[in-house]
Amino acid sequence: MTTAKPKPPHPPCGHLLPQAGEGTTNKSTTKAKPQPQPQPQPQPKPKPKPKLPKVAHATTLRSTPTLWHTPASTNTEAAAIARQITLARIAASALITLSSAAIAAEDFIARDHVSDGTFTTGIEGPATGPDGALYVVNFGKDGTIGRVDADGKATLFLTLPEGSVGNGIRFGRDGTMYIADYPRHNILRVAPGSTTVSVFAHLPDAHQPNDIALAPDGTLYASDPNWTKTDEGQLWRIDRDGKVQLLESGMGTTNGIEVSPDGKRLYVNESVQRNVWVYDRGDDGSLANKRLLIRFDDHGMDGMRCDADGNLYIARYDAGVVAVLSPQGTLLREVPLKGRKPSNVAFGGSDGRQVFVTLQDRGAVETFQADRPGREYGLQPSGKP
C-alpha cells in the first residue's frame, strides 16, 4: 500500500490573504507658496496613478477559486481543467482496481490455524460440525478427536473406544458424526449433542477403511487401501441403514474420496498411482462409467473435497500444496502450504469459504480462503449451499 504524502496547509477558513492595494495610505501633496523672485514656471498636473484591480481570494476552503481569464486563454484553461479532471478520474479508477486486486489476492494464501504438535502425525479427517467448529482426529494422542474453535484453539472432544483410531470424518445433515475407524474396520457414529460412540457399520472384509464421503441422500462411500500390497485397493458403499456393499476391488491405493454437489459423480484417488478416477453415480447409489479424471506426474495424494461449483480440492501429499481441479479435470491452481505433507482438507467458516488443511509433518492445521464455499460445511443452511 502506498502512503499518501501530506498536503501543504491551507490558509485558515474565513481568513483573507492581503489584497493588492490594501494596507497602504495615499498621502496628499501640499503645494509650496509662490516666491516673488524668481517667477516659477508652470508645472504639469501629476497624472493620477492607475487603480489596480483587487484580486479575489477564497474566504473558505469550500469556495471555488475565481479564475481570471482573457478571451484568448479561456478555451485553453477549460481544456486543461478538463484534462486534469479526466486524469483524476483515471487515477481513481486505477486505485479502485488495484485495491480490488489486493483484496482478491488475499484468497488462496495459507496461514497457520493450529500450531505445530497439537495433533499427532496421524492427524486426519477434518470436518466442520453444525456448531461451526472443526473436528480433527488424534488430538495429542491417537484414538481421540479434537475440537478446534474459530480462533484455532483445540480441545479434546472425545476418546474413541479401546483399539479404535479415527481417520476420515463426515457430518450428516442432522448433525450426526461419522468416523472411519481403520484398525477395527468400522464406521462409527456419534449422535448430535452427544459424545457417546457407537458402531454404525462393520466392514469385516475391509483392509481399513480410510476416508469417507457422504452423498446428499445420506449414502456413505469409503476408500480402502492396502498399504503393503498397492494393487489391492477397494471401494465400499454404506447405505443409510448401515448395510455395506463392496463396489470394486483390485484398485490401487484408494485414498481420497468425494461426491459432487449434485450427487451424480463420485471421485476416488489412488495415492501411489497418482490417479484420480470419476464415476457416474445412480439414484440408487450404484456406480458406472469409470474414467480417469487426471494423473499427476509426481508426489502423492490424500483427502479431497468439492466446492459448491464442483471444483475438486486435493491434498497433494509431499508436494506441499492443495491442487484445485475443475469438474473436467483441468488444474485451476495450486495453493502453497507451509507443511509438505497435507493429509486432508475441509471447508468451513461462516460463509463456507474457509479451507482447513491437516499437515502430517507438522501435526498442525493451516487455513486459507477460497473464492467459493464448500459443498458441505458447518453452519450450512439446509438445502444446496
In this predicted structure, the answer to whether residue 104 has a pLDDT above a threshold of 80 is no
b/e per residue 53-62 (b: at least 16 CB within 10 A): eeeeebeeee
Grid cell 481417520 in the structure block, residue: 167
Exposed, middle or buried by CB within 10 Å (0-12, 13-18, 19+), for 309?
middle
Alpha helices in the chain (DSSP H): 74-104
Task: Decide if 56 contacts 66 (C-beta within 8 A).
Answer: yes
Ranking 20-34, 165-179, 226-240, 365-379 by mean pLDDT, the lowest is: 20-34
Bigger pLDDT: 226 or 69?
A: 226
d(CA 362, CA 122): 10
The pTM of this model reads 0.73
- Residue 290's H or E segment, with its range, is strand 287-295
Backbone conformation region of residue 48, classed left if phi is above 0, alpha if psi is from -120 to 50, else beta:
beta
Q: What is the spatial distance between Cα 295 and Cα 331, in angstroms, rounded to a whole number?
A: 11
SS3 content of the chain, % helix, strand, coil (to 5): 10, 35, 55
Task: Over range 18-28, report the average pLDDT.
Answer: 41
Q: Which tens digit of pLDDT belongs to each residue from 44-53?
A: 555 554 444 4
Assess whether pLDDT exceeds 60 at residue 96: no
pLDDT tens-digit map of 162-184 = 999 999 999 999 999 999 999 99
Q: What pLDDT score does 70 carry?
A: 33
Q: Are 197 and 219 in contact (CB under 8 A)?
A: no
Which residues sit opposite 368 in a β-bridge? 355
Closest CA to 218 of 261, 175, 173: 173
- Check pLDDT > 80 for residue 43: no
Question: How high is the pLDDT of residue 100?
Answer: 41
Residue 191 has pLDDT above 70, yes or no: yes
Query: What pairs with residue 342 in β-bridges?
Result: 359
Domains of the chain: which residue ranges?
Answer: 77-106, 113-369
Give the residue-averaged pLDDT of 120-148. Answer: 97
Higher pLDDT, residue 352 or 21:
352
C-alpha cell at 80: 486543461
Could you tell me the sign of the dihedral formed by the alpha carbons of 140, 147, 369, 343, in that order? positive
d(CA 340, CA 200): 34
Q: How far apart are CA 130 and CA 78, in angstroms?
A: 63
Beta-strand relationship, 177-181 and 244-251: unpaired
* Predicted pLDDT at 378: 85
Phi–psi pair at 260, nearest 5 degrees: -70, 160
Give the closest residue to 176 by CA, choosing from 216, 139, 145, 130. 130
Long-range contacts of 148-157 (CB under 8 A, 24+ apart): 148/113, 148/114, 148/365, 150/349, 152/112, 152/113, 152/114, 152/115, 152/365, 154/114, 154/118, 154/119, 157/195
> Nearest CA to 344 among 374, 313, 381?
313
Instruction: Please state the rounded mean pLDDT for residues 248-255.
Output: 98
Question: What mean pLDDT do residues 294-321 have?
Answer: 98
Task: Please give the class, per CATH, of domain 113-369.
Answer: mainly beta
